[in-house]
Amino acid sequence: MIPAMNQPKTRIFAPAGKLPAPKKSQAAYSPSFLNSGERGRLERLVDAGGSLGVLFIQIHDFRVIENLFGVEIASKIADLSENILATLCRMHLPGADPVFVERLEPGKCLVAWRDEGLALPDVLPDLALAFRIGLRAMIKPEVVGLTGKNVDVSVGYSVLTAAPGYSLEHRLYNALCEAQRIAESGFDAAELSLMREFLEIVERPLLTCVYQPIVDLRSGEVFAWEALARTPAGSHFASPTMLFDFAEEAGRIFSLEKTCRETAIKNFGPAGPGQKLFLNIHPRTMADPAFHPGETKALLDKYAISPSGVVLEITERHSTRDFALFHRTLDHYRRAGYKIAVDDVGTGYSGLYSIAEIRPEFIKIDMSLIRGIDTNPVKRALIETFITFSDRVGCKIIAEGVETPTELSCLVSLGVHYGQGYHLARPDYPKPLPLQNVAGLIVRAGTENLSVIKCGLPIGELSEPSVSVPRETPVPEVKRLMDQADNNACVVLKGVRPAGLIMSHHLNKLLSSQYGASLYAKRDASRIMDREPLIVDAMEPVENVSKAAMSREKFKVYDHIVVTKNGEFTGTVTVQKMLDSLARLQVELAKGANPLTGLPGNMAIDREIEARTTSGKHCSFIYADLDNFKVYNDTYGFHEGDQIILLTARILAHAVRRHGGANDFIGHVGGDDFVVATAPETAEAVCASITRLFGRLVAYRYSIEDRRRGAIFGKDRNGVEGEFPLVAISLAIIDCHGQCSVGAVAHRAAEMKKFAKSKAGNVFVRDRRSLPLPTECGCAPEKPSDGQFLNISTP
């Protein structure tokens, strides 16, 4: 029997260190199952010549975990380990009766059983290793989620037999001492009978391979397939993780990986243009004496797979002892055309160090950072940091473990390059395609943010006077002032600057508690205030403030927002008033929004340009226009033409989100014309991103034949037939330094757009001439010379 995990646990080890020597009475070392009704049965079994198998299981550095992460986390890990041990007993000891699982002390457990069908001395080493590998593999996801890293486990074994003249407690004590000794000294996995099963799996081979697609989160198409090994049913190696852990224990990781690699390549089959195969590889494989770099190339040649179509995925939890040899081998693979990926980034191992040393082309973010990202602002911030980093160093981000539509939508909106997970497709053989609705979800997720229309209303216009007091004000006086003013909030000031916030519901809760009124009667406001309220400048747009307010902790979501001007307190805004005003303004603005993209239309664009040109602040306007769009629209039809417009809107939004600022603006003039308002220092980075992405993605809106040709046959505006290049985007940057003339901006925009369209391909140009002031409106701008513009093209 396996007792319930929440029953009291009897310690049989001293709180720390080795077991003390047994005394005459062994009552202090009597586990609960020896005090149960099973005791008599066990004594009869043992005295009659039977024996009990004993396993001692210890989690390494458990006291360190307890000190670093607290008793609550450590207790969760201890409870989880007991539950897993119970599961392993059912897996590996199906004929045992009885079976006992008991906690000796935190991080140390005992498993004892009787099974007449097992020759205990022969099977115990195999069982001990199976329990160790199984516990380590099954506990990993939860422990990594709790602490950021996995734990190691030791397992020892012994046999409890008859010993005339000694009590059952004394014999159990001796068996545990022997099991603990073996757990600490270890044993040779290569000598176990499990090795025969392992060798059979590897050499026959009995391994199978499944493939999971890695999906492009911009287009919804399959970018690559990851090959994943699967163990045979009924094996002691219940999962691939257990098989690889055993191989590492036994020094057979090279032979196992070689078999996995051969199986993956052999069964891969045909792939689409540009689709890649991800192969997992252990860093130490490259240092194995039997390793020959040319073997993989020969195998790929046999099945007509190019090295440029293969990505070697290095799992972060695997370290390498010889980085010099490892780098030489990686360089060899890179010269041959292979790409490198680092897996499990974010699980708490040496991820950043691995990235710095390996310089991978792909970074795979562990699912622990992806799970719940749609509701966790800290995880979103981490992923945004990884994306910014990847842009800087020229690699791509792959999010693992995408399991819900909201996680997918969040990752797309953040600009993550690729995704992998059950919500996209489960691993299978033959290679599965992503679920039918995935492409639609990705496109909708990429465009739904475009419908958010900025009203540009400063939060200060919604601000209202509020009760404010100095930090030294007694709590009863704060209560009196709030009741007198019938106000739910009181701002605590340090001089003229806000230092904290007191909400009436929080104050009433404190004062209504037992002794609350007397306890706080002589304390000042600074003792009970929220020291981290949401404080914003009066000119901050309402949209930005609403996002910040809704990202606060749940218990603070509806607290008032403190408004300042030049750092001085001016008033507060209630969340209800802010959201009501935002909704009302967005409804008004939506009436003029473009029906296709949902972006602000001409009315909002005119208001935005006028506000920026008259503000006196430096700003830049990017005017976008598509080349050869009419030919595409006539050839492929209006529906496909609309998809090009939507793609353009998505790319603009992506570039602004990645390289622009929080107050940047995107508007859709109509047709294939767009406007972006941004800061002068970010304009070129935004344009470079737009031209690069557009040049890469627009080709996928053409047929394979037209894509390969790089052109289509059609008619121009005059009805003349000919061959026309693929649709390209032309961008013109107009800078406004200080107050500018709206008319001059419009004139320069038309002129620079024409100039940009005269250049082939995806280009942007920047006007280097100064714009006329508003008083100079009406003067015709001079024609630009080659020295007055910047032209950068993207192939």
3-state secondary structure 571-617: EEECHHHHHHHHHHHHHHHHCCCCCCCCCCCHHHHHHHHHHHHHCCC
What is the average pLDDT across 263-283? 89
Q: How many CB atoms lie within 10 A of CB 43?
A: 15
**Ordered DSSP codes for 448-501:** HGGG------BGGGG-B--EEEETT-BHHHHHHHHHHHT-SEEEEEETTEEEEE
Quick: pLDDT tens for 723-775: 899 999 999 999 988 777 778 888 888 889 889 888 888 999 998 776 654 54
Give the C-alpha separation, 583 to 559, whole Å: 19
Sequence-separated (6 or more) residues with CB below 8 Å from residue 242: 130, 133, 134, 137, 231, 236
More confident residue, 472 or 586: 472
Q: Please name the amino acid found at residue 451.
A: S
Secondary structure letter of residue 109 according to DSSP: E
Task: Tell me the C-alpha to C-alpha distance, in Å, between residue 252 and each of 153, 233, 282, 317, 717.
Answer: 20, 21, 12, 18, 69
**What is residue 683's predicted lDDT score, i.e. its pLDDT?**
94
Measured CA to CA in angstroms, residue 237 lies from 27, 127, 129, 250, 280 at distances of 39, 12, 11, 14, 19
The model's pLDDT over 94-139, given as tens digits with 9 standing for 90+, comes to 888 778 888 888 899 999 888 776 667 778 888 888 898 889 888 8
Span 697-731, pLDDT tens digits: 888 888 888 888 889 988 877 778 888 999 999 99
- What integer best gives the mean pLDDT of the chain? 81
pLDDT at 368: 84
At the topology level of CATH, where does 594-794 sit?
A: Alpha-Beta Plaits (3.30.70)
pTM: 0.51
CA distance linking residue 314 with residue 334, whole number of Å: 14
| Residue with more model confidence, 727 or 218 | 727
- Is 180 or 777 the better-scoring residue by pLDDT? 180
Rounded to whole angstroms, the Cα distance separating 638 from 306 reads: 39
Q: What is the largest CA-CA distance in the chain?
A: 114
CA angle 632, 635, 636 (to 5 degrees): 80
pLDDT at 645: 93
Select, from the ranges 17-21, 109-113, 284-288, 322-326, the one with the highest average predicted confidence (pLDDT): 109-113
Q: What is the per-residue pLDDT for 794?
A: 45
- Domain residue extents for the chain: 27-187, 202-449, 459-582, 594-794
Q: Which of these ranges, 233-237, 252-256, 333-337, has the smallest mean pLDDT? A: 233-237
Asked if 268 and 305 touch (Cβ cutoff 8 Å), the reply is yes
Architecture of the domain spanning 459-582: Roll (3.10)
Question: Structure tokens of 100?
Answer: 């006992």
Cis peptide before 98 (omega within 30 of 0): yes
CA dist 309 and 639 (Å) reads: 34
Residue in the block written with tokens 């107009």: 734
Cα 756 to Cα 744: distance, rounded to the nearest angstrom: 18
Judged against a pLDDT cut of 80, whether residue 4 lies above it is answered with no
List the one residue out of 189, 124, 183, 191 whose CA is nearest residue 152: 183
Cα torsion at 762, 766, 767, 772 (round to 10°)?
110
Q: Which pLDDT score is estimated for 15?
A: 31
> Does the pLDDT of residue 438 top 80, yes or no?
no
In which band, very low, low, confident or very high, does the pLDDT at 590 lie, cut at 50, 70 and 90?
low
CATH topology of domain 202-449: TIM Barrel (3.20.20)
pLDDT band, very low/low/confident/very high, at 392 (cuts 50, 70, 90):
confident
- Write down the pLDDT at residue 533: 92
What percent of the chain has a predicted confidence (pLDDT) above 90? Answer: 26
Query: DSSP string spanning 236-270?
Result: S--SHHHHHHHHHHHT-HHHHHHHHHHHHHHH---
Query: Fold match between 27-187 and 594-794?
Result: yes
Higher pLDDT: 412 or 22? It is 412
Query: What is the DSSP code (8-state) at residue 147?
Result: H
Look at residue 768 in the predicted model and tell me its pLDDT: 77
pLDDT in tens, 357-388: 788 899 999 888 898 888 888 888 888 888 88
Q: What is the mean pLDDT of residues 643-658?
A: 88
Q: What is the pLDDT of residues 156-193, one digit of tens each?
A: 999 887 777 777 788 888 888 889 988 888 766 666 66
DSSP state of 773: P
pLDDT of residue 349: 46
As assigned by CATH, the class of the 27-187 domain is alpha beta
Least confident range of 36-50, 551-565, 640-654, 659-673: 36-50
